[in-house]
Structure 1
Amino acid sequence: MPFEPEELPPATPPFFDDTAGGVWLPLYRHACTFGPDMFVDKMMNMVRNPNLNSTWLFRADILYDDEQGAETSVESSTSKARPIPRDLAGIPRGRTLVRRLIPRNERRDRPLDQTCTFHRSESTSTETPTRSLVVYMPHASSALDLPFYHPKVRGVAHLHEWDPLQASGSISVHFLPFQQDDLRDEKVRRTAYHLLEILHKHGQGSAAGYVKRVHHDVLIPRPRFQDRYAHLKNKYARQLVGAWAESTDPAKHVFEDLGIAAFLMELWADMYRDGVFPGFVDIGCGNGLLVYILTQEGYSGWGFDARVRKSWAQYQTEASCSPSGQSLEQRLLLPSVVSGTTSPDAIQVSPEEIHDGIFPPGTFIVSNHADELTPWTPILGALSQCPFIMIPCCSHNLTGDKYRAPPPRDKTKPKSTFASLVDWVTHIAEDCGWEVETEMLRIPSTRNTCLLGRKRTKDVGEVDMEALLREYGGVEGYYANVAKLVKSAPRGH
């Protein structure tokens, strides 16, 4: 069902009466084929995820929920966070929540508390539909008190009307203005249109059988990640974008690496809560930005890549845990398990520029879009007894050749090149004895699957590494491909 709403004229009478005397004006209406329970489910999802309606927002923190029995946050004891519910004639109020809208940039926009109430009146005859209503009331006394991302109105309401006999209904959006003329503002009307469009999209999608397949925030709670990310962005983003030295898009790389850094910092806070951080190594570190952010935030570590990048001059810092004492090094990875199987004679580099892939036990290995090194990541982790994350990107086999991995073992998953790569490297990690955890990172990249190995399913001694290398295609030709990498231009990462 395409989104083609009916725009309601200004003279349209209110669809429901406010017991406090407010006049709720309808703006748009659209037919729907999803019922009351699905409407409530979609609206609750939007209450918890206001970012679905506005790119200016990160999330909502729930301060109060009467279905939970009482306040859900210590902040709820403040008068600002107490609910200010609205009652509507003939549509009883059920659940009441107070949420705090958290903007992406608190330097520009401030948070806003908002009371959200759920109402329903059941159908009592063939002539009266079931009516479900969700009302948002911002805790603001005037339009001037409202932040940029909220429409300049006293309240917002979504109404769902449902005929159970016909199995059809309608959804509509209503605003409670401060003044009648407020709804003539084009921005206000665009906002109403957009709110109804998003509800229509999610409701009709569920009615058509859509099932969400991507789940974020599995390992790290969203508030922790987003608060850390906002802190890093405010601290570094402008400086890093302004001083970008590469030919690639600075915004993409800066915000992506700030997001990865935020995730790692929160992950490490959990992993090393009761111990000392063991240091990290970023294999295939590319432009070195992620290493720079993490070391600036006080985490000991270093990174290496086959080629020096222009950015390294400004990101280079001292690192006591690296072989040279520098945080960014030019190194070729020649894993110890490859030595003796092929000849390194084709590579004309000094021994100081070679790394055997053996790191101090416990060192956290970061493999961020490391391309040729991605399938090696869980192997190196097993050999050195080091936890790791890998964020796959381009598909290569163990020799460094471009490679199309076999389709995913789970036949319900897409058979794309990327999905195949993710499943293939996951399989390698599992055979190396890792329990693989997956997180879909909140970064501006379609290659946002993060695979984490920090728990073992078997001892390293139980893994026949030579047999594993043969099973996954062998390593014959690895040195020749490394030689080509040395001669080629560096990647943009």
Structure 2
Amino acid sequence: MVFTPEVAPADSPPSFVDLSGEIWVPMNRHVCSFGPKIFFQKMMNLIRNPNINSSWLFRADIIYDDQETAQVGHGDDDTRPRVREIRDIARQRILVRTLIPRNARRDDPLHQTCTFHESADAGGSVKSLVIYIPHASCEEMPFYHPKVRGVAHYHEWDPSTASGFVSIHFLPFPDHALQDTKLQRTAYHLLQAVHKHGEGAVSGYVKRVYHDVVVPQARFQDRYALLKTKYAKQLIGSWAEKTDPLKHVFEDLGIAAFLIELWADMYKDSAFPGFVDIGCGNGLLVYILNREGYSGWGFDARARESWQQYKTTTPASLSGSSLEQRLLLPNIIPEDSERVSADPVDPSTTHGGSFPAGTFIISNHADELTPWTPLLAAQSGCPFIMIPCCSHNLTGDKYRAPPPKDKSKGRSTYASLVEWVTHIAEDCGWLVETEMLRIPSTRNTGLLGRTKKAGAESIDTAAILQKYGGAKGYRDNVAQLLRSGPRGH
């Protein structure tokens, strides 16, 4: 269904009556094929995830819900629900949410009451309404919220025709016209969002991507905001690479935030065992983690211009933390799998891939090292995270992994790579957890191995290597990295 909403004329009468006597102004509406149940489901999702409608927002924290036994924040005037009663449309539910902005230095959080209303007539027709009331005056209203006293999503449904309408209505501040272009654009996008999600549910859309499976959203976002405030300006201003500092700084701050919160859970009852970042690239992630007090180091086949400043600013208290030029040549590669290289590699610049047990292995866009990560982790008894990027096989050659057999999964090159390395990890005995990381990259799948399957204490490395194409030629392929320039990461 093409989204072509009707814009309400300026003199349109209100569609419902607020018992306070104040007038709600209709802005636009669109025909829909989803009923009241889906409307309420999608509105609840939009209430919990205001970032769908505004890129200025992180999330919403529900601080009061009259349908929950545990209620928080219902004690002072600022958080007390501000409820509207609507004639002939009974109120069903009250929530108060706090909108959390992405940039806390620019915008303040905002409390907002959300109420659900519904009624049905004798013929079965249903009227449903969801009202947002911000707890702020016109002058106090943050940038990310329209300058109106209220927003209403109105749904009308006729079961005899299995069709209805969904519409947006604003409650204006006194002396504020609603013909402002920005308000009209906001109404359009609010209507488009609920229409899109409702029609998607009717057509059988099934969500494939789930965020915040391992680390809760609020904890990640709060940590990310803190790291961004502490480091972003300095890191962008001192960027020494030729790559885009905005992308890489915010991406690595996001990964660091995830890891810090993950480690808070993993090591809450024990000492942090240290980390190693294999294929560490520009070294920024190692630097951020070191600065936050996590002991660890990283290495890559090529040194980077930025390493010197990251090395010299590493806290002296974290002894052994560093960035080193090393070529990873796994010592688990069978001798008969290697070709004799015409250009031998200096053993002092290599690493065999064995690490102290328990060391947390980071494999962030490590390319040739990605499929090796779960093998190395199993060999040393180390948990890991790998964030796949470019597709290579165990020989180090570029590789197009076969598409997933599960038809419900994506068929892209990246989806195929993720599925392929997941199978390698599972064959190594890992119970793989997947987290879609909230970072500015389309290569944002985090595959986490921190638990082994029962009875998977030892693995047949040779059999796994053979199953996934062998490793012949790996030494020669990765040695090329010493003679070529570094990539973007």
Say yes or no: TM over 0.5: yes
Identity of aligned residues (%): 65
CA contact (8 A) 1:319 1:325 kept: no
> Which residue of 111, 115, 133 corresponds with 2:129?
133
Shift of the alpha carbon at 1:459? 5.4
* Counterpart position of 1:420: 416
* 1:411 is the counterpart of 2:407: yes
> How far apart, CA to CA, are the structure 2 residues paired with 1:377 and 1:327?
20
> How far apart, CA to CA, are the structure 2 residues paired with 1:275 and 1:5?
57
Give CA deviations for 1:344-387 in whole Å, capped at 9, x if unaligned: 65444432211010111100000000000000000010111000
* 1:242 is the counterpart of 2:237: yes
> How far apart, CA to CA, are the structure 2 residues paired with 1:321 and 1:333?
27
* Counterpart position of 2:111: 113
CA contact (8 A) 1:333 1:357 kept: yes
> How far apart, CA to CA, are the structure 2 residues paired with 1:92 and 1:456?
53
> Which residue of 271, 279, 283 corresponds with 1:284?
279
* 1:51 is the counterpart of 2:46: no
* 1:27 is the counterpart of 2:24: no
* 1:215 is the counterpart of 2:210: yes
Of residues 113-122 and 231-240 in structure 1, the stretch that sits farther from structure 2 once superposed is 231-240
CA contact (8 A) 1:393 1:418 kept: yes
CA contact (8 A) 2:61 2:100 kept: yes
* Counterpart position of 1:492: 488
* Counterpart position of 1:315: 310
CA contact (8 A) 1:114 1:139 kept: yes
The within-5 A match list for 1:154-303 is 154-303=149-298
> How far apart, CA to CA, are the structure 1 residues paired with 2:480 and 2:259?
32
> How far apart, CA to CA, are the structure 2 residues paired with 1:326 and 1:281?
9
Amino acid at match of 2:88: G
* Counterpart position of 1:368: 364
Judged with a 3 Å threshold, the aligned counterparts in structure 2 of structure 1 residues 87 and 461 are, in CA distance, closer, same or farther, namely closer
Judged with a 3 Å threshold, the aligned counterparts in structure 2 of structure 1 residues 347 and 356 are, in CA distance, closer, same or farther, namely farther
* Counterpart position of 1:36: 36
> How far apart, CA to CA, are the structure 1 residues paired with 2:252 and 2:134?
35
CA contact (8 A) 1:153 1:182 kept: no
Q: TM-score, normalised by structure 1?
A: 0.96
> Which residue of 436, 452, 456 corresponds with 1:456?
452
> How far apart, CA to CA, are the structure 1 residues paired with 2:458 and 2:401?
26
CA contact (8 A) 2:91 2:115 kept: yes
The within-5 A match list for 1:138-149 is 138-140=134-136, 142-149=137-144
CA contact (8 A) 2:64 2:74 kept: yes
CA contact (8 A) 1:155 1:175 kept: yes
Q: CA RMSD in A?
A: 1.7
> How far apart, CA to CA, are the structure 2 residues paired with 1:43 and 1:22?
24
Amino acid at match of 1:416: S
Give CA deviations for 1:15-67 in whole Å, capped at 9, x if unaligned: 11111111100011111111111100010101111111100000000000001
Task: For structure 1, list consecutive stretches of 5 or more residues without a partner in the other structure.
Answer: none
* Counterpart position of 2:470: 474
* Counterpart position of 1:7: 7
* Counterpart position of 1:150: 145
> How far apart, CA to CA, are the structure 1 residues paired with 2:70 and 2:253?
36
Aligned with 2:177: secondary structure? helix
Aligned with 2:176: secondary structure? helix
Give CA deviations for 1:309-359 in whole Å, capped at 9, x if unaligned: 11112211458899x945110000011112633256544443221101011
Of residues 276-285 and 397-406 in structure 1, the stretch that sits farther from structure 2 once superposed is 397-406
* 1:124 is the counterpart of 2:122: yes
* Counterpart position of 1:16: 16
Amino acid at match of 1:315: Y
Amino acid at match of 2:78: K
> How many residues are paired up?
487
Judged with a 3 Å threshold, the aligned counterparts in structure 2 of structure 1 residues 110 and 269 are, in CA distance, closer, same or farther, namely same
CA contact (8 A) 1:258 1:290 kept: yes
Amino acid at match of 1:13: P
Shift of the alpha carbon at 1:412? 2.3
* Counterpart position of 1:63: 63
Judged with a 3 Å threshold, the aligned counterparts in structure 2 of structure 1 residues 459 and 257 are, in CA distance, closer, same or farther, namely same
* Counterpart position of 2:77: 79
CA contact (8 A) 2:368 2:396 kept: yes
> How far apart, CA to CA, are the structure 2 residues paired with 1:400 and 1:160?
56
Of residues 363-372 and 453-462 in structure 1, the stretch that sits farther from structure 2 once superposed is 453-462
Judged with a 3 Å threshold, the aligned counterparts in structure 2 of structure 1 residues 119 and 134 are, in CA distance, closer, same or farther, namely same
Shift of the alpha carbon at 1:252? 1.0
Task: For structure 2, list consecutive stretches of 5 or more residues without a partner in the other structure.
Answer: none
> How far apart, CA to CA, are the structure 2 residues paired with 1:461 and 1:135?
55
* Counterpart position of 2:440: 444
> How far apart, CA to CA, are the structure 2 residues paired with 1:308 and 1:339?
28
Amino acid at match of 2:76: T
> How far apart, CA to CA, are the structure 2 residues paired with 1:378 and 1:326?
23
Aligned with 2:107: secondary structure? coil
